Amino acid sequence: MKKNHVLWILALLVINTGWYNLSKQSVNQEINRPGADFAEVREANIGGLMGDEVDFEIEHCFDSLNGGEYNVSIQVKQNSLTLYDWNGTT
Domain that holds residue 50: 2-89
CB 60 within 8 A of CB 74: yes
Regarding pTM above 0.75, the answer is no
Q: How many domains does the chain have?
A: 1
Greatest CA separation for the chain: 62
Q: Tell me which residue of 62, 50, 55, 60 sits closest to 78, measured CA to CA.
A: 55
Confidence of residue 65 (pLDDT cuts 50, 70, 90): confident
Per-residue pLDDT reduced to its tens digit, 29-62: 556 566 766 666 767 666 655 556 666 677 777 7
